[in-house]
């Protein structure tokens, strides 16, 4: 299954891009409303006005129609779980990616300190820092990012529940 952009990323935009990754199982989005709410919080946190076209479309169904149209064109196997990633900015939805979920065996979580002032308060599309840290570890290891105050914040890919 190809993992490609539905649209070319918006070139020349000054605003950052963000991602939201959903689980698609049996053709259904899992916890879709929670993900939509996080997207709304992100846009509002970036100062998007309530009258913004994209914000209004998130409040209605417009981008979801675009996602549904994209999914309709994909060969989705009912017994397969997928990662559906939406990339968006203040300008709107810029990319949709769908890849089969591949379960990894994680042997170890390696605590790694985040630099002072590191800001990842939103799910930015630029994951280069996380990818660089992950590249320094073995395939069966996952970085566990720790803030300077000692709190755990994220990994490069894996969800953490404590």
Domain boundaries, the chain: 18-100, 108-155
Total-model pTM: 0.80
Dist. CA 103–CA 105, nearest whole Å: 7
Contacts of 50 (CB under 8 A, 6+ apart): 56
pLDDT reported for residue 86? 93
Per-residue pLDDT for 116 more than 70? yes
Q: 60 or 61: which carries more pLDDT confidence?
A: 60
CA distance 152 to 112: 10
- C-alpha 127: how far from chain center: 10
Under CATH, what is the fold of the domain 18-100?
D-amino Acid Aminotransferase; Chain A, domain 1 (3.30.470)
């Amino acid at each position: 299954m190809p993992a490609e952009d539905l649209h070319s990323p918006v070139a020349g935009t000054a605003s950052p891009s963000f991602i939201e990754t959903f689980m698609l199982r049996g053709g259904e989005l899992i916890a879709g409303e929670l993900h939509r709410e996080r997207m709304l919080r992100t846009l509002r946190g970036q100062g998007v006005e309530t009258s913004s076209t994209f914000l209004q479309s998130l409040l209605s169904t417009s981008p979801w129609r675009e996602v549904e149209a994209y999914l309709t064109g994909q060969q989705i196997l009912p017994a397969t779980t997928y990662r559906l990633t939406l990339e968006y900015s203040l300008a709107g939805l810029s990319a949709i990616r769908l890849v089969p979920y591949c379960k990894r065996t994680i042997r170890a979580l390696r605590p790694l300190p985040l630099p002072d002032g590191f800001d990842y308060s939103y799910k930015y599309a630029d994951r280069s820092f996380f990818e660089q840290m992950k590249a320094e570890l073995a395939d069966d290891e996952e970085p566990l990012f720790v803030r300077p105050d000692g709190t755990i914040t994220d990994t490069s890919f894996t969800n953490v529940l404590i």
